[in-house]
Amino acid sequence: MQDNLVDYLIENSDKKVSYYLNLIRYELSGKIYSFGEHIKHPKEGAPKHAFIWKDYTEFIAIYFLKKKNKPGKKKILSSAYSKWNRHLECLGYDVYRPPWNLSRDFKIESSAELYLLTKKIKRCFNNCNFNYLISSNFLLLVERYHSLFKEFCTTNSYDALIVPNDVGFFEKLAINVFKELGKPGFFWAHGGVPNIYDGKMDNRTDFSIQWGQQQADAYIKMGFDSSKMLVSGHPIYNKCPQNLKFELDEILVLTKSLNNTCPLDKPHLEDRGNAIMYLLSIQKVLQNLGVKKVRLRPHPAENYNWYAKFIDCLFFEQDKSDFTHSLKKSTLVIGPISTSFIDAL
């Protein structure tokens, strides 16, 4: 017998239903495991009000403001984080965002039906319960989306796909469709410190793009195929600091953030008490060094008010500044494995 609910449902469904349930595995897990006050927006919370008219307004704006194709250039469909799309265009590629990744640059292509179905499925993930998401009615929407997206990619003749993760529904579906079309898919790292290696996550695309060689080496060491690893560098992190500030007068502490929805195929719940114990141990060490007060910055997905119920708020002062400004005035940053450490350097 399987050891988690989603796997049990997948194993006990026919092949077609199993395929679609596997596509929405991450979203289904969110309904089960994303709960509690420590999360800023738990999936078990009240449904968000849907403004369907905004979907039509957005599509009209996209239709009239979208940038024109550049004939003769390789076309890439990309939802990469940061400014990678702009860098790819500087290298001579024609880059477009998929319909689930709207941004201000309006570099997006989509039919009206595909765009509105994208929005409808997103609303279902946010507002509908677990029973509806595994129902035949919703899985028919998923099936229709697969068909529409494949038709869309064929019509637009994309040469490659780039995604920042390979666990969400839209990303997993896109990866599968590009495989069906015989087109390459690339995972482009959206963080600088990989620390989860289950052999599946970050390993579903044909190629994996990392910021630096040490990232690639870490994946290879954990059994990932070295031939699929590529190194991109990074426009911000390519330069190393010559000197580091180190004083105890402006200390920034980052929380040991807890999983919102576990991205692994075998999900697990973390002990919330450890996140508090982590902070208390930091306080003990710093107070022994004569530190009277530090700034505390939770992960953006976490709820500071939950932490405030357990910690000494006279010692831990909430950091509300813009992250860049906060780092600039800090003389020491204490935290767990995080890209924020690279930002701090």
For residues 260-278, give the mean pLDDT: 84
Q: What pLDDT score was predicted for residue 46?
A: 56
Tell me the two tokens of residue 105.
Answer: 């640059």
Q: What pLDDT score was predicted for residue 236?
A: 78
Answer whether 248's CB lies under 8 Å from 291's CB: yes
Rounded Cα gap, residues 146 and 160, in angstroms: 17
17-25: long-range pairs with CB below 8 Å, 24+: 17/139, 20/139, 20/142, 20/143, 20/146, 21/134, 21/139, 22/172, 23/142, 23/146, 23/169, 23/172, 23/173, 23/176, 24/125, 24/133, 24/142, 24/169, 25/167, 25/265
**Confidence check: pLDDT of 168 > 70:** yes
pLDDT in tens, 280-335: 999 999 999 999 999 999 998 899 999 999 999 999 999 999 999 999 999 999 99
pLDDT bin (cut points 50, 70, 90) of residue 71 is confident
Q: Tell me the CB-side half-sphere exposure of residue 315, using CA atoms within 13 A.
A: 18
Q: What pLDDT score was predicted for residue 2?
A: 64
Q: Which residues contact 155 (CB under 8 A, 6 or more apart)?
A: none
pLDDT in tens, 232-256: 988 777 777 788 889 999 999 999 8
pLDDT in tens, 116-159: 999 999 999 999 999 999 999 999 999 999 999 999 999 999 99
94 phi/psi in degrees, rounded to 5: -100, 105
Phi-psi label, residue 126: left if phi above 0, alpha if psi -120 to 50, beta otherwise: alpha
